Amino acid sequence: MSDTHSLDTLIQALRRLPGVGVRSAQRMAFHLLQHDREGARQLGRALHEAVDQVRHCAQCHTFTESEVCATCNDPRRDASQLAVVETPADQAALERTGAFRGRYFVLMGKLSPLDGIGPRDIGAQRLIERACDGVVREVILATNFTAEGEATAHVIGQALRSRGLVVTRLARGVPAGSELEYVDLGTIAHALVDRR
């Protein structure tokens, strides 16, 4: 119906969000127009603002509004350690532990041949240049422990080791606070192999 053109356009636009199908998009559009028009305007402004302002840190490639992000700019961070993570969310998780005081490189993705995502798409060349700056001594691979995260760590690790860098990987093992009885077998087997 032509008298709902802008509603239809909104529903189509909402479907570009990951995980949002036609039903969810309808529900979101109806909700905003019926109950939260101010929220719709805020979201509209926030989208334009973020697209205009957010770019990638020249050093670690995470999202930032500056040339270089706050973490890379922080002189108290240990420049000899570089942690490689998949996403800013993973970086935030590592930061919350308070256990790492080095620098980061954020891949903004992971190798995924089936989706056509190769080393170039995750900035592998930029990572190698970053890691070979003469200051970094250890690269800690902190990609996820999924099939794709492991493959990413493997490929990146090989490339970095061949350039003489020390490359380590986050330890696999039994999660803190868990009872062996309820931990999956693969995790226990890894914890046994990696015992210290």
What is the C-alpha to C-alpha distance for residues 145 and 172, in angstroms, rounded to an integer?
8
Q: Which string of x and - marks every residue 64-93 that binds a second copy (by CB under 8 A)? A: xxx--xxx---------------xxx----
x/- letters, 136..165, toward a second copy (CB under 8 A):
------------------------------
CA-based nearest residue to 192, from 177, 172, 167: 172
How many residues make contact with a second copy (CB under 8 A)? 57
3-state secondary structure of 106: strand
Per CB under 8 A, the list member of 1, 99, 171, 185 interacting with a second copy is: 1
Taking CB under 8 A as the binding criterion, the range among 34-42, 135-143, 172-180, 186-194 that sits at the site for a second copy is 34-42
- Angstrom distance (rounded) from CA 22 to CA 11: 7
Task: Confirm or reject binding of residue 101 to a second copy (CB under 8 A).
Answer: no
**Could you give the C-alpha distances from 148 to 17, 143, 167, in angstroms and in order?**
22, 9, 18
What is the spatial distance between Cα 72 and Cα 105, in angstroms, rounded to a whole number?
10
Residue 114 near a second copy by CB under 8 A: no
Q: Give the one residue of 9, 125, 146, 178 binding a second copy; rule: CB under 8 A.
A: 9
Residue pair 60/105 in contact (Cβ under 8 Å)? The answer is yes
For a second copy, the binding residues (CB under 8 A) are 1-7, 9-10, 12-14, 16-19, 23-24, 26-34, 36-37, 39-54, 63-66, 69-71, 87-89, 108-109
